[in-house]
């Protein structure tokens, strides 16, 4: 199984969307599909995720801006022969990760009232039914749902553990460039702020099990801690605890 991050111009995504449109027309009716036609259009810059099985696209989803704090999930689809394997949930989880990376606080979506399998999946993932929004307000056969994707922080007397934000880049670079920090955690010292930003996107941002360690008194991020995959174990569910801490504050905290 391969995860591919792409955009709305990807022909593989557009082909899957054509299949989705036919499924929705069969399940919901042609009139419903005609009403939703414009809202389902995905522009070229929209973030898209694909799942590939032996190079073949089998599932897709897209996420786009709805408001400053809210992203909208669109075009979630899994080919019929690959359903009931958790791929729909995986696609939605990937889209939520993208939304967190872009600093959105909520995700919302619309689905049809006859798509019972989708309702159950979204509810199990923490989505709650809300009043229909935007163009769906007048569509009685639409169900709209919303989820808060920003996790709660953990606080002690002096520290806050919270998820990494893009604005943390300078703090992360400040301690990550120290030659006494990186090697102890298993990685090379960062050479530039841009390198820290790129590594943040891959390793930190959007990860539910990785947290920044922040000093309460000055709101400065002094390290990271999290559960990460353990390459030395055969069990894919086994995780190991990893952390990095600024040398200047490590002894104090």
Half-sphere CA count of 119, side-chain side, radius 13 A: 11
- Report pLDDT for 86: 94
Instruction: Put the strands of the sheet holding 70-78 in their side by side order.
Output: 2-7, 47-53, 56-65, 70-78, 106-112, 142-148, 128-130
CATH of the domain at 186: 3.40.630.30
pLDDT tens digits along 206-245: 776 789 999 999 999 999 998 877 777 777 667 788 889 9
Distance between CA atoms of residues 68 and 152, nearest Å: 20
Q: State the average pLDDT over residues 71-87.
A: 95
Question: 119 with 167, same domain?
Answer: no
Q: Is the separation of the CB atoms in 213 and 226 below 8 Å? A: no
pLDDT tens digits along 167-206: 999 999 999 999 999 887 778 999 999 999 999 988 888 7
Question: 124 with 195, same domain?
Answer: no
User: How many residues appear in the chain?
Assistant: 253
252 pLDDT higher than 60: no
Q: Domain count of the chain?
A: 2
Residues spanned by the domain of 135: 2-148
Question: 164 with 144, same domain?
Answer: no
Question: 115 with 187, same domain?
Answer: no
38 pLDDT higher than 90: no
Q: Within 10 A of 145 (CB to CB), how many other CB atoms are there?
A: 20
Mean residue pLDDT across the chain: 88
Question: 40 with 130, same domain?
Answer: yes
Task: Spell out where the chain has E strands.
Answer: 2-7, 47-53, 56-65, 70-78, 106-112, 128-130, 142-148, 154-155, 159-162, 210-215, 221-229, 239-245
Question: 41 with 113, same domain?
Answer: yes
Distance between CA atoms of residues 90 and 69, nearest Å: 23
Q: State the average pLDDT over residues 117-137.
A: 94
Nearest to 248 by CA among 187, 178, 186: 178
* Residue whose tokens read 């990760």: 97
């Amino acid at each position: 199984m391969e995860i591919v991050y792409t955009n709305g111009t990807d022909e593989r995504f557009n082909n899957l969307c054509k299949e989705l449109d036919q499924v929705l027309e069969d399940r919901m009716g042609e009139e419903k599909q005609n009403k939703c036609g414009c809202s389902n259009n995905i522009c070229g810059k929209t973030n898209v995720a694909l799942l590939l099985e032996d190079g073949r696209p089998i599932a897709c989803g897209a996420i786009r801006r709805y408001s400053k704090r809210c992203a909208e999930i669109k075009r979630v689809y899994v080919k019929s022969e690959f359903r009931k394997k958790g791929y729909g949930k995986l696609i939605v989880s990937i889209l939520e990760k993208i939304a967190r990376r872009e600093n959105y606080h909520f995700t919302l979506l619309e689905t049809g009232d006859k798509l019972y399998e989708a309702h159950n999946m979204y509810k199990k993932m923490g989505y709650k039914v809300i009043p229909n929004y935007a163009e769906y307000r007048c569509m009685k056969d639409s169900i709209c749902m919303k989820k808060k994707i920003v996790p709660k922080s953990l606080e002690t007397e002096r520290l806050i553990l919270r998820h990494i934000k893009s604005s943390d880049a300078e703090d992360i670079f400040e301690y990550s460039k120290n030659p006494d920090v990186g090697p102890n955690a298993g990685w090379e010292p960062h050479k530039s702020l841009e390198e820290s930003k790129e590594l943040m996107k891959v390793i930190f941002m959007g990860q539910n099990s990785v947290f920044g360690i922040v000093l309460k008194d000055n709101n400065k991020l002094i390290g990271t801690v999290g559960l990460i995959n353990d390459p030395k174990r055969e069990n894919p569910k086994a995780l190991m605890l990893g952390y990095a801490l600024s040398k200047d504050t490590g002894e104090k905290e």
